[in-house]
């Protein structure tokens, strides 16, 4: 019987497979290892750049009032400006005002008046710069004049104006020796200390008057050289003559 059964099993492979499945269902499943997934690191959000690190132009950053403030400051300084440095400071304020006013955007309601103020500031800047240059020129002339006056007249003696008897006196002989191109010190060495001085470099004049007020001699200079001379006298001892 057993042998017959085995033979039947061999002959019916489908039955064998079915029995195998049934036995697998009745068998208690063996414990299997549970794979626990490794923890995945959560993505950390990247820090966003600080907004303060990038300058942002807002509606409050209006250059118009800032430019106006600079111009007003320049006007206040100009009222008491009396030195080259003062006018340089005024010019600097106006340059800042001009630079700010140029940045008023085209779409701004203040654009039209900004353009008018810009032209005004530019004219004021030109005036301030001219005042500074004028003072600088005057200061240079004053220093040169003071330097000339600090030198004694007798210290400068040249072959063009030799020392003669009666040096520094207003007389016909000394007047006749004055020539075009002489320096002020050379003329002083002949006529002495002038009664008065008028003008400033590069054009000025020196005047001599005699003690009796009867003779007046005027010598004009250009760039510290004799450019002209004149003589008026009612004295019988003075003759306004020029050597040829």
Q: Which carries the bigger pLDDT value, residue 1 or residue 235?
A: 235
Residue 55's pLDDT band (cuts 50, 70, 90): very low
Task: Judge whether 214 and 172 are in contact, CB under 8 Å.
Answer: no
pLDDT 10s digits, 150-178:
766 554 444 333 333 334 688 888 888 89
Identify the pLDDT of residue 156. 44
DSSP 16-63: HHHHHHHHHHHSPPPP----PPPPPPPPPPPPPPPGGGS----TT--H
Handedness of CA 140, 142, 144, 146 (dihedral sign): negative
Identify the pLDDT of residue 41. 53
**Mean pLDDT on 136-161:** 67
pLDDT reading at 221 higher than 50: yes
Q: Say whether pTM exceeds 0.75.
A: no
At 238 the three-state DSSP class reads coil
Q: Directed axis angle between helix 84-101 and helix 63-79, to 10°?
A: 160
**Mean pLDDT on 74-96:** 91
Contacts 24+ apart (CB under 8 A), 163-167: 163/189, 164/190, 167/192
Q: Which carries the bigger pLDDT value, residue 204 or residue 148?
A: 204
Residue 14's pLDDT band (cuts 50, 70, 90): low
Q: How far apart are CA 5 and CA 54, in angstroms?
A: 92
């Amino acid at each position: 019987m057993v042998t017959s059964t085995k033979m039947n099993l061999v002959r019916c492979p489908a039955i064998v497979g079915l029995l195998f499945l049934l036995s697998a269902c009745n068998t208690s499943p063996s414990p299997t290892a549970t794979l626990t997934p490794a923890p995945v690191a959560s993505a950390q959000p990247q820090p966003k750049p600080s907004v303060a690190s990038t300058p942002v132009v807002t509606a409050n950053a209006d250059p118009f009032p800032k430019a106006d403030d600079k111009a007003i400051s320049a006007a206040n300084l100009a009222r008491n400006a009396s030195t080259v440095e003062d006018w340089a400071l005024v010019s600097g304020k106006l340059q800042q005002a001009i630079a700010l006013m140029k940045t008023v955007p085209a779409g701004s309601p203040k654009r039209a008046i900004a353009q008018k103020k810009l032209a005004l500031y530019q004219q004021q800047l030109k005036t301030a710069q001219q005042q500074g240059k004028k003072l600088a020129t005057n200061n240079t002339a004053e220093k040169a004049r003071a330097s000339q006056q600090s030198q004694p007249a007798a210290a400068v003696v040249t072959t063009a104006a030799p020392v003669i008897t009666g040096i520094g006196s207003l007389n016909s002989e000394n007047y006749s020796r004055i020539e075009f191109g002489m320096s002020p010190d050379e003329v002083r060495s002949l006529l002495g200390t002038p009664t008065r001085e008028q003008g400033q470099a590069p054009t000025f004049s020196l005047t001599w008057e005699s003690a009796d007020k009867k003779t007046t001699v005027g010598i004009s200079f250009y760039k510290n050289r004799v450019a002209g001379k004149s003589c008026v006298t009612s004295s019988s001892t003075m003759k306004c003559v020029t050597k040829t």
